[in-house]
Amino acid sequence: MKHDMERELLEWKKGMLELRRKYRDTPPGFQDDRTEQAYLDKFSEEQEAYRKKREHYLEAFWESKEEPFAGREPYLKRIWEIFRLEKGPAVLYGIGGIGKTAIARAYALRFRKEYNGVLFLSCSGDFQMVFGDDVRLPISNFRYSQDKYGGKGRYVREKLKILAQIAGKQRLLLILDDCNTEQDRLMKRVFSLPCHILVTTRRDPAAWGGCSGIPVGELGQEEWKNFVRLYWGREPDHKAWEEFSNYWKQIGGHTLLMMLRLKGMKAQGHQKELPESLAEDLFCRFPLKKPEKQILRELALLPVQGIRESLYFRVSEANRAALGRLKDCLLVRSESSGGGSDRLLSLHPIIADAARKIFLPTQHNCRRIIHGFYEIARNAWNCTYLDNQKIEPYVFAIFRAFPEPEAWLAREFGALVTWLWVQGYFKEAKRQCRKLTESVERYYGNCHQITGETYLKMAATCYNAMGFEESEIWYFKAFDCMNQCGAFDDRYFHYRSAACSKVSRIYRYRGGEDNLQEALKLIRKALFYEKKYWDLCEKNGIWHEEDDPENSYRHWQLGEARILFDLGEMDEALRLGREARDGIIREISEGKNYQYELNEFDRFLIKAMVSQGKFSKAEELALQVVETARIYRKDQSKEMASSEEQLADVWLAAGESEKAAGLYGQIVSRLKEDAPYQKKWIEKIQEKWGQALAQRRNPHTQRGV
């Protein structure tokens, strides 16, 4: 049975309140009204904070906008009737491009006053992927964590329970667009949500059961005429009506193709699917140039929900005029993104399918957009969790589009792998990095600079997933590889230095005089190689953000300081630690985004201050480190728990056992809930908790424990 330790603590405090009231004017009781009120105020604040941390609500809704819409009134009435009679979900089904999504959007707009909010989810995968996406479906105080939930299955089941609770309190409309799965193990749960559910699909929903299907066909005669007038922009003459009528019959009343035809496009034959011949015809009547084809190729890679225009230009360097022409041809949709002037770019699914068939996206012809996302992801460590989350759908889209990464894009895919584990997707990061490693070994062999770099990526992925033994194997492979291979490019000395540094850390963690001396030898070798790289960069005017020589040099200095500290050379260790920190601060002052990395340097100084008995300064800096971790990582992150653990260590060493015990207890409670698999870490903190409790019982316990 799972215990809510925070709730139990509040109940205990409530009991204490009653006892202290009962035994007023005795030493344990309240001495006066002022003391009682102060206790009551603090208790009320803690109760409110506890409530807010557990309150769930939808953080974002879809805003329906006015869009061109002709006819289809019977469909809107039929949907409303299904909901009125509680025979939902209502399912609009028909071939791609026939107008199902337009009807769903029109219904949301027409009946928006009937609902507290509308959720519009494009089903680019199964229900676990759709409802497990915290970008498209954000719920307050509820985020995925592999340490807490393991796989996504358990997380999504809990999320659906919370969504059901929210829907029970509000009138919600849930639109599941382009839901084309044959069956889904979560379908019954989703379709049982206590809200109005409207689904669009290209499948006959009869096999799903428990829903009311509405087949969507071609427009009626009068509806079709209104449709033509709306998209043609004027009343067609007799010849135009005849031409449009013939084309309408040829395409079986396909509304999307008719819409495009009204902009000057033709197609041949009656089509129910989208064979290659029809896919070609979607584009062949437009004089598409190379930049326009490239935009369609790239947007076809991305999720159905699209991408903000500003972000797309940042990662693709697309031609603005070419994008404008595609918008005019209705091949690219451009919609309001809900705030400011930035627009949301997307492709209709039928156009995206056609673009993938005709323009054949590959890693070679999409290398620019892959590199664009690499340029954002490569410094993910120094970005906040929420900032990194903005590119989440696109990182996963790239991995889905290219499941076998090319070795010559090793650095690009390596940065995306790093992004995965920074965001807590440790299992996916290991899977993708393993595929990348195999690709690099096949292409470059086992003795090459790029292979060594990739081994370092694989090691870092295992290390941050708490797989320390496996990470050691990969670090030593990287070390051996970099010692044996020759230079491939200007980063050779940096990665040779990095391999020395990581193996040095392994020896430092093993402890003992011999291991520490080996660690010291290796870290000094790392500093030697990094200085060679630094000199090379300065001589040739080179700077790589993710492989900044001064930044790495300062980290290796910090590594040397830690080793010297463990060897008892306190003064030299502290001097080196401060010198390294000053170097990072200087880089930050130059505009480089290394703010979060500063925590590593501050944490060493905190440890040194405690050893010198400077508890006040150590506490001040430890509080700052915790706040920085809170800003850059989730409250449930391991980085946050580790920073708080050090703060509690400072309090314990300073003899402030009550504060230390309270914080240790909170950390243990949170780790048991959010990271139950980290048993060794939990046991270590529980031991410290026990020390703090023992020290509290014996206030004469010596400081510096």
Q: What is the 3-state secondary structure (H, E, C) of 275-314?
A: CHHHHHHHHHCCCCCHHHHHHHHHHHHCCCCCEEHHHHHH
Cβ proximity of 321 and 332 under 8 Å: no
Across-strand partners of 215?
A: 93
| 33-42, 201-210, 360-369, 426-435: range with lowest mean pLDDT | 33-42
When mean pLDDT is compared over 244-258, 336-350, 549-563, 589-603, the highest value belongs to 549-563
- DSSP class per residue in 527-584: HHHHHHHHHHHHHHT---GGG-HHHHHHHHHHHHHHHHHHTT-HHHHHHHHHHHHHHH
Query: Sorting pLDDT into bands at 50, 70 and 90, what band is 522?
Result: very high
Helix axes 290-301, 392-401, angle to 10 degrees: 100
Cβ proximity of 356 and 300 under 8 Å: yes
Q: In the predicted model, is pLDDT for residue 197 greater than 90?
A: yes
Cβ proximity of 219 and 100 under 8 Å: no
| 55-69, 342-356, 414-428: range with lowest mean pLDDT | 55-69
Query: Sorting pLDDT into bands at 50, 70 and 90, what band is 21?
Result: confident
Where do the domains of the chain lie?
5-53, 73-215, 221-270, 290-361, 377-601, 602-697
Give the sheet arrangement for strand 172-177, strand by strand.
Answer: 117-122, 172-177, 196-201, 90-93, 212-215
* Nearest residue to 398 (alpha-carbon basis) of 464, 314, 309, 315: 315
Which long-range contacts does 15-22 make (Cβ < 8 Å, 24+ apart)? 17/43
Across 171-193, average pLDDT: 91
- DSSP class per residue in 646-687: HHHHHHHHTT-HHHHHHHHHHHHHHHHHH-TT-HHHHHHHHH
Percent of the chain past pLDDT 70, that is, above it, reads 92
In tens, the pLDDT along 260-278 reads 777 664 344 333 445 576 6
What torsion, rounded to 10 degrees, do the Cα atoms 582, 588, 592, 595 define?
Answer: 100
Residue with tokens 């690219």: 332
Across-strand partners of 174?
A: 119, 197
Rounded CA gap, 490 and 414, in Å?
18
Helix (H) or strand (E) holding 172: strand 172-177
Task: Name the CATH architecture for the domain at 290-361.
Answer: Orthogonal Bundle (1.10)
Q: What is the pLDDT of residue 244?
A: 86
In tens, the pLDDT along 214-258 reads 998 888 777 888 888 888 888 888 888 888 888 877 666 778 777
Q: What is the pLDDT of residue 52?
A: 60
In tens, the pLDDT along 641-652 reads 899 999 999 999
Q: What is the pLDDT of residue 270?
A: 36
* Nearest residue to 661 (alpha-carbon basis) of 610, 699, 613: 699
Q: Name the fold adopted by 377-601.
A: 1.25.40
Q: In the predicted model, is pLDDT for residue 126 greater than 60?
A: yes
* Nearest residue to 133 (alpha-carbon basis) of 392, 398, 402: 392
Rounded CA gap, 139 and 164, in Å?
12
Across 281-292, average pLDDT: 78
* Nearest residue to 414 (alpha-carbon basis) of 491, 317, 354: 491
Burial class of 147 by CB neighbour count within 10 A (0 to 12, 13 to 18, 19+):
buried
Rounded CA gap, 569 and 564, in Å?
5
Q: What is the pLDDT of residue 274?
A: 52
- DSSP code of residue 139: B
Residue with tokens 């135009």: 240
How do strand 343-346 and strand 307-308 relate by DSSP bridges? antiparallel
Burial class of 446 by CB neighbour count within 10 A (0 to 12, 13 to 18, 19+):
middle
Q: In the predicted model, is pLDDT for residue 147 greater than 70?
A: yes
Identify the three-state secondary structure at position 272: coil
Q: What is the pLDDT of residue 535?
A: 95
Up-side HSE of residue 354: CA atoms within 13 Å toward CB? 23
Query: Sorting pLDDT into bands at 50, 70 and 90, what band is 18?
Result: confident
Q: What is the pLDDT of residue 281?
A: 63
Query: Sorting pLDDT into bands at 50, 70 and 90, what band is 468?
Result: confident
Q: In the predicted model, is pLDDT for residue 587 greater than 70?
A: yes
Rounded CA gap, 532 and 526, in Å?
10
Q: What is the pLDDT of residue 157?
A: 93
Residue with tokens 């029809």: 278
What token pair was written down for 515? Answer: 């291991």
Q: In the predicted model, is pLDDT for residue 368 greater than 80?
A: yes
- DSSP class per residue in 41-109: HHHHHHHHHHHHHT---BS--PPP------S-HHHHHHHHHHHHTT---EEEE-STTSSHHHHHHHHHH
Residue with tokens 């909170």: 666
Confirm whether 377-601 and 602-697 share one CATH topology: yes
Cβ proximity of 336 and 343 under 8 Å: yes
Mean pLDDT of the chain: 87
- DSSP code of residue 702: P
Q: Name the fold adopted by 602-697.
A: 1.25.40
Classify domain 73-215 by CATH number.
Answer: 3.40.50.300
